[in-house]
């Protein structure tokens, strides 16, 4: 078994930052007022069938507030929950945060990085909303070329360039699923976008939803091979949650048997199955999502918080003597270099 540190049986992203910099780096969600090409008619209308963006970001994150105000309020919000956070990452999460001219993007990213408590940015976007000039600018940002004189002392390290990650919503490796949920792009586009970012040495994360309509457990487990083949730095998973007022709510009401609906214990076992097949060098940023109860018609797991679910996963993996990468064909010797 790999030594993932802190008694963990999988490679946690929080642990990665703590080991590397000696302190917790907490993400602060910000809304910079973007939209998506499958909302404004460029590639489609209505957005993804599961999406109500308000369900996935906190109350302080609204576009009519300045970025500085959102960051300040986000710091106050998180100080109550994560008192050991030393610095913060400005997380451009809402909608597609590269869907604008490169000059506007650069200005927004630099504005967030000007906050003295911000050590870096995370840019959430779609695979079809990046191109060479945008990725070149993000790479220049990471390399410090756009922030002369910028520095932050994080733990025992002095950063002379900001931490920069790009996060792609991929959601599924199956084209028929992507078409059904109105993503407006296929998996080959996602693969090309990940490779383009990684080729510029930009840390790259991918997000996947477990339980999308038409997918089986066997299909979801099989897609870990496709995930392992991508040059990713980290990965996020969360269970599908049916949000009120969405197209998917109507689809689920009409055909519930076409959806995987995980009980909590079942999900913990299934997530363990996934982690055992996942490359051991991939950092796991999230294993489940949280949506405020007012956005859903039912809360099948009750009001269990993510930190509680993580403790349950730790116990489940220990009970099964499971660890990340146990059933993965990826070269463990190469992966261990990055742990």
pLDDT band at 334 (very low <50, low <70, confident <90, very high): very low
* Percentage of the chain exceeding pLDDT 70: 94
Torsion of CA 230, 236, 238, 244, to 10 degrees: -100
Torsion of CA 162, 235, 288, 72, to 10 degrees: 10
The CA distance from 134 to 308, in Å, is 38
Question: What mean pLDDT is predicted for residues 304-315?
Answer: 92
The answer to whether the CB of 22 falls within 8 A of the CB of 157 is yes
Higher pLDDT, 79 or 338: 79
CB crowding 42-71: b at 16 or more within 10 Å, else e: ebbeebbbbbbbebbebebbbeeeebeebb
The CA distance from 291 to 57, in Å, is 9
Helices 264-277 & 306-319 angle (0-180, nearest 10): 60
The CA distance from 26 to 58, in Å, is 14
Say what the pLDDT of residue 330 is. Answer: 62
The answer to whether the CB of 74 falls within 8 A of the CB of 58 is yes
- Give the DSSP H/E element, type plus range, for residue 314: helix 306-319
Closest by Cα among 65, 94, 21, 15 to 310: 15
The answer to whether the CB of 201 falls within 8 A of the CB of 163 is no
The CA distance from 204 to 195, in Å, is 9
pLDDT tens digits, one per residue of 213-236: 999 999 999 999 999 999 999 999
The answer to whether the CB of 168 falls within 8 A of the CB of 125 is yes
Residue 112 clears pLDDT 60, i.e. is over it? yes
Say what the pLDDT of residue 327 is. Answer: 96
The CA distance from 338 to 111, in Å, is 32
* DSSP E strands, 69-178: 85-92, 118-125, 152-154, 157-159, 163-171
According to DSSP, the β-strands at 234-239 and 163-171 are: unpaired
pLDDT band at 238 (very low <50, low <70, confident <90, very high): very high
Residue 331 clears pLDDT 80, i.e. is over it? no
pLDDT band at 338 (very low <50, low <70, confident <90, very high): very low
pLDDT tens digits, one per residue of 57-68: 666 778 889 999
Residue 81 clears pLDDT 80, i.e. is over it? no
End-to-end CA distance of the chain: 12
Say what the pLDDT of residue 5 is. Answer: 83
Mean pLDDT of the chain: 90
Higher pLDDT, 94 or 107: 107
Residue with tokens 């039912």: 298
Estimate to the nearest angstrom the gap between the alpha carbon of 69 and the chain centroid: 23
CATH of region 13-336: 3.20.20
Say what the pLDDT of residue 72 is. Answer: 93
pLDDT tens digits, one per residue of 8-40: 999 998 888 888 888 888 899 999 999 999 888
pLDDT band at 121 (very low <50, low <70, confident <90, very high): very high
pLDDT tens digits, one per residue of 147-164: 999 999 998 889 999 999
Three-state SS at 87: strand
Higher pLDDT, 280 or 306: 280
Is the pTM higher than 0.85? The answer reads yes
Say what the pLDDT of residue 329 is. Answer: 78
């Amino acid at each position: 078994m790999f030594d993932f540190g802190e008694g963990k049986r999988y490679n946690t992203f929080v642990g990665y930052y703590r080991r590397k910099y000696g302190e917790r780096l907490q993400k602060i969600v910000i809304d910079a007022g973007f939209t998506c090409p499958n909302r404004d008619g460029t590639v489609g209308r209505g957005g993804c069938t599961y999406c109500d963006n308000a369900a996935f970001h906190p109350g302080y994150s609204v576009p009519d507030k300045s970025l500085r105000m959102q960051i300040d309020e986000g710091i106050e919000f998180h100080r109550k929950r994560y008192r050991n956070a030393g610095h913060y990452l400005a997380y451009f999460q809402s909608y597609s945060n590269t869907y604008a001219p490169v000059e506007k993007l650069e200005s927004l990213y630099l504005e967030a990085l000007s906050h003295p408590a911000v050590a870096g940015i995370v840019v959430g976007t779609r695979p079809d909303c990046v191109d060479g000039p945008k990725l070149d600018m993000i790479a220049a940002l990471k390399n410090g070329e756009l922030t002369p004189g910028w520095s932050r002392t994080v733990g025992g390290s002095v950063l002379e360039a900001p931490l920069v990650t790009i996060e792609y919503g991929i959601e599924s490796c199956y084209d028929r699923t992507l078409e059904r949920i109105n993503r407006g792009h296929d998996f080959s586009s996602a693969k090309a976008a990940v490779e383009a970012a990684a080729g510029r040495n930009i840390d790259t994360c991918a997000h996947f939803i477990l339980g999308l309509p038409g997918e089986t457990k066997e299909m979801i487990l099989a897609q870990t091979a496709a995930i392992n083949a991508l040059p990713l730095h980290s990965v996020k998973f969360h269970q599908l949650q049916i949000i009120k007022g969405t197209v998917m709510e109507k689809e689920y009401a009409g055909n519930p048997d076409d959806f995987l609906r995980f009980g909590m214990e079942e999900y913990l076992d299934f997530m363990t199955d996934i982690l055992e097949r996942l490359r051991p060098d991939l950092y796991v940023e999230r294993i489940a999502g949280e949506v405020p109860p007012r956005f859903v018609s039912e809360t099948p797991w009750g009001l269990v918080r993510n930190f509680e679910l993580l403790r349950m996963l730790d116990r489940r993996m220990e009970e099964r003597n499971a660890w990340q990468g146990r059933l993965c064909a990826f070269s463990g010797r190469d992966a261990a270099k990055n742990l």
